[in-house]
Amino acid sequence: MKLKTYGLLVSFMLSVSLLAQDIQPSTAESRIQPLPATGPPQAIQLQGVEFVVPELIIGGEWTTTIRLTNRGKTAIPTTNVYFFDNNGNAMSATFQITSGSIITDHGFSFSLGVGGIVEATFIGTSTVTFGFASIGCNTNGCGTPGLYGEATLRNRNATRPDFESVFPLEYPASVQYMLFDGRAGVTTVLYLVNSTTTPQTVNIDVYDVNSKLLRTVPIPMQSEASLILSLHGDLAPETVGIQGTLAIRSASTLPVTITGLRINPSNSFSSMRAFIPSN
């Protein structure tokens, strides 16, 4: 009787295992490869609703590593990633991919099986360039459900340990908020990205801790362009020695991406992210 029961149990478990295999989503190979021969995106493909990889700084003491993973329930099909310099032009860059191969291109394409991870580490020259990367739409649509990624920004100097900070993928929005702190010698550097194909003006409202508006700074931006700005120097010198909140608003309701670096007096830095209001 016990052997019969054991046999039935094994048979049942095997059936369940086979059934589970039937309903498991198929996994695809996770890989990075050069862009297809079609090259950089046409203007209509970038609408500002794609994921943005911010803080893409390459060359000199700087390098960036992009890591992507699929935490969804189905494989992510071939998806293109495009690089843009600070003036909105397609940016050619050299990077090493997960397999160890080195590619020079204006971007790359990737596919991700469930749970898969791919990585691209940029190799710069003595000249510093900066911009952003845009993750385009694929056959599953835009926004790429299940995709998570981050950019590790690293500053390397032989006289000290490396400084680095991590920036998750960002989703552009027309209104965002960011905390700032200008006390104790800390400085704030803002990184703005207009990933749309339309020039726009971004207004930054500077508030103190009592929600008093100190000033509004209009910032004109080219299409598909990036800007690096010093909050305490270029934009609002009155923020030195105080803390408060920035409200970042697109004058035309177009989406924009903003991140930043909080830099302490020793020049080490940490990432700053904006938050999007829920209503």
**128-154 tens-digit pLDDT:** 999 999 998 888 777 778 899 999 999
Task: Give 234's pLDDT tier (boundaries 50, 70, 90).
Answer: confident
Predicted confidence at residue 226, as pLDDT, reads 97
- Give the integer Cα–Cα distance in Å for 243 and 14: 62
Inform me whether the pLDDT recorded for 60 exceeds 50.
yes
Segment 89-110 mean pLDDT: 95
CA-wise closest residue to 34 among 77, 89, 78: 78
Predicted confidence at residue 279, as pLDDT, reads 66
Please give the structure tokens belonging to residue 258.
């903003």
The residue type at 98: T
Please give the structure tokens belonging to residue 95.
């990077």
Question: Bigger pLDDT: 54 or 103?
Answer: 103
Segment 83-109 mean pLDDT: 95
- What is the chain's mean pLDDT, rounded? 86
Segment 204-228 mean pLDDT: 97
Task: Give 239's pLDDT tier (boundaries 50, 70, 90).
Answer: very high
Task: Give 163's pLDDT tier (boundaries 50, 70, 90).
Answer: very high
For the chain, list the strands marked E by DSSP: 31-33, 51-58, 62-70, 76-85, 93-97, 102-105, 107-112, 117-123, 129-135, 147-155, 163-168, 175-181, 187-194, 200-208, 213-221, 225-230, 243-250, 257-263, 269-273
Task: Please report where in the chains the tokens 């030195």 appear, as a residue.
Answer: 240
Predicted confidence at residue 51, as pLDDT, reads 85
β-pair partners for 204: 217, 248
Q: What are the backbone dihedrals phi and psi of residue 126, each rounded to the nearest 5 degrees, phi first?
A: -75, -15
Predicted confidence at residue 19, as pLDDT, reads 30
Predicted confidence at residue 199, as pLDDT, reads 96
Predicted confidence at residue 4, as pLDDT, reads 41
Inform me whether the pLDDT recorded for 7 exceeds 50.
no
- Give the integer Cα–Cα distance in Å for 189 and 139: 37
Inform me whether the pLDDT recorded for 11 exceeds 60.
no
Predicted confidence at residue 140, as pLDDT, reads 79
Inform me whether the pLDDT recorded for 38 exceeds 80.
no
pLDDT above 90 covers a percentage of the chain that reads 72
The model's pTM is 0.83
Question: Bigger pLDDT: 22 or 166?
Answer: 166
Range with lowest mean pLDDT among 32-41, 162-171, 189-198, 204-213? 32-41
Segment 91-105 mean pLDDT: 95
How many CB atoms lie under 10 A from the CB of residue 128?
12
In the chain, count H helices and then E strands: 1, 19
Range with lowest mean pLDDT among 10-24, 145-159, 171-185? 10-24
Question: Bigger pLDDT: 5 or 101?
Answer: 101
Question: Bigger pLDDT: 146 or 120?
Answer: 120
The 269-273 sheet, strands edge to edge = 225-230, 187-194, 257-263, 269-273
Query: Are the C-beta atoms of residues 128 and 57 closer than 8 Å to each other?
Result: yes
